[in-house]
Amino acid sequence: MHRQAEAEWWRPNVVARYSERTEHPVETAPDAAGSPVPFWAMMVFTFILLFAPQSYSPALASFRIALLTAIVAVIAYLIDRLRRGLPIMMHTREIWLAVCLSGWAAVTVPFSYWPGGSVEVLLGQYFKTLAIFWLLSHTVTTPARFRHVAWGLSLMAIGLGVTAVDNYFSDTVSIPGGDDAPSRMFGNESALKNPNDLALMLNLILPLNVALLLVSRTIPARSLLLASVLLLTFAIILTYSRAGFLTLATTFTLYLWKLRNRPERVWTRAILVVLLACLPLLPASYVDRLSTIIKINADQTGSAQERLRDTMAAVNHAFSNPVVGAGLGMNVLALNEVRGATWTSVHNVYLEYAMDLGLPGLALFLLLFAGCVKNTVCVQEQSDGIPARRELFSFAEGLQISLIAFAVAGLFHPVAYHFYFYYIAGLAVAIKAVYETEARQA
């Protein structure tokens, strides 16, 4: 009679369980999923993170709404876990790898080029990023909450896409180009002001948008999601981000492969036809910019050549300092020492970890990344062909493609300690726990 109470403490219960032969949920105790407060606080925080409403309404700045919302989410989560007598952290491989990675970052601080700067990055940015990872992995505890996250991010992406398109056609919110370089639009006033960062975020959300498109049944929902996919694709192109284009191409290639033998392949083929039909409409300046991916010396802005030089310098430094590196966030100082003072970071996530935290830091990150991908693959394999888990399968597939998209984008972005990867990684950890709970209760 006490078997249920002896279930593993770290596996979250869910609000509803499903029969493997039907798609109808069987309601269980509402308290099983935990308090909804930390989850919805996390969703509000995501909105603030992507849109920074305090930038548009200065009156909000004094309230520090991002920090306030994060504190509410953390406190509400801790109270809920303590109320139910549950520990505050799951004992999963990915969680412990994240703990080890942050611990290694702390251990290397005394050996940093600038210990005070590394402490500032650790406490001011990286711990906040890890808090997002922790909250997402522990509060997205049901298929319904995954649905809310996917819809929330998709709707937010529509807002980002509309802003991007509007900014592109507005001279007042674009980055002027040189004599032979095109102008590039700004994003919004948040962390996504840089067009490269905006392209990265849209690329990471796009697979979740497609996942919803594949499982939605109503015509209005499908129409909205299809329009959203096209809008995000258009917005990514308008950023003129070369990394954004390569990441977008990766996403569509993966979906074409995954859906090749499934009825849903009609969606990717339809979108592909539309995109091919629009190719002649691309401005010549965009095609010229993409050509610099291969013809590096043809880049009139000089950014491609500079990044190649920085990459080579970063590789040399990483192999010269393979254990502790330059210290968390100190790759800028290390590059200044190697190739002269330009005060720019290396535009490569993997080299950031290798330069800052040495090869052990890079290895821990790669193990964390691989574990998250493995989670999504496991959920897909175990859910494939089960009608009740069709939605969970699509979300796992979308997360897998988002992670692979980041793996490609990471070759060109200096975002090792930002929220981009860790947001998707938190969901990848959560979906494995949700699947195991569903399987156990089925």
Residue in the structure block whose two tokens are 């509309």: 162
Residue 13 confidence (pLDDT) above 80: no
3-state secondary structure of 212: helix
Look at residue 442 in the predicted model and tell me its pLDDT: 63
pLDDT at 361: 96
3-state secondary structure of 17: strand
pLDDT of residue 339: 78
Interval 268-316: pLDDT, tens:
777 778 777 777 777 777 777 787 777 776 666 667 777 788 888 888 8
pLDDT digits (tens, 9 = 90+) for 340-387: 777 888 899 999 999 999 999 999 999 999 999 999 999 999 988 888
Mean pLDDT of the 26-44 span: 74
Residue 266 has pLDDT above 70, yes or no: yes
Residue 24 pLDDT greater than 60, yes or no: no
Grouping H, G, I as helix, E, B as strand and the rest as coil, residue 19 is coil
Q: What is the pLDDT of residue 362?
A: 96
Interatomic CA distance for residues 78 and 74, integer angstroms: 6
Say yes or no to pLDDT of 191 above 90. no
pLDDT at 4 over 60: no
Residue 9 pLDDT: 35
Residues 6+ apart with CB under 8 A from 181: 285, 300, 301
**Dihedral of the CA atoms 110, 114, 118, 121 (nearest 10)?**
170
DSSP 6: G
343: left (phi over 0), alpha (psi -120 to 50) or beta: left
pLDDT score for 19: 44
What whole-number percentage of the chain has pLDDT above 90? 55
More confident of the two residues 183 and 247:
247
Q: Could you tell me the CA-to-CA distances from 311 to 33, 150, 186, 351, 370 in Å, in that order?
A: 46, 35, 26, 8, 23
* Whether the predicted pLDDT of 236 surpasses 80: yes
Closest CA to 414 of 331, 352, 343: 352
pLDDT in tens, 396-437: 999 999 999 999 999 999 999 999 999 999 999 999 999 988
Length of the chain: 442
Lowest-pLDDT range of 6-10, 61-65, 151-155, 345-349: 6-10
Helix axis angle for 37-51 and 65-83, nearest 10°, is 160
Question: How does residue 262 score in pLDDT terms, banded at 50, 70 and 90?
Answer: confident
In this predicted structure, which of 171-185, 196-210, 322-336 has the lowest mean pLDDT?
171-185
Give me the pLDDT at residue 12, please: 39
Given this model, what pLDDT does residue 32 score? 54
Instruction: Return phi, psi of residue 31, to 5°.
Output: -75, -10
- Helix residue spans in 113-264 (DSSP H): 115-121, 127-139, 143-168, 195-215, 219-238, 242-258
Is the model's pLDDT at 136 over the cut of 50? yes
The mean predicted confidence, pLDDT, of the chain is: 85
Q: What is the mean pLDDT of residues 219-231?
A: 93
Q: What was the pLDDT predicted at 294?
A: 76
Categorize the per-residue pLDDT at 182 as very low, low, confident or very high, splitting at 50, 70 and 90.
low
Span between the terminal Cα atoms of the chain, in Å: 19
- Quick one: tokens of 56? 């548009």
Note the pLDDT of residue 171.
Answer: 66
pLDDT at residue number 269: 75
- 398-419 burial: b if 16+ Cβ within 10 Å, else e: bbbbbbbbbbbbbebbbbbbbb
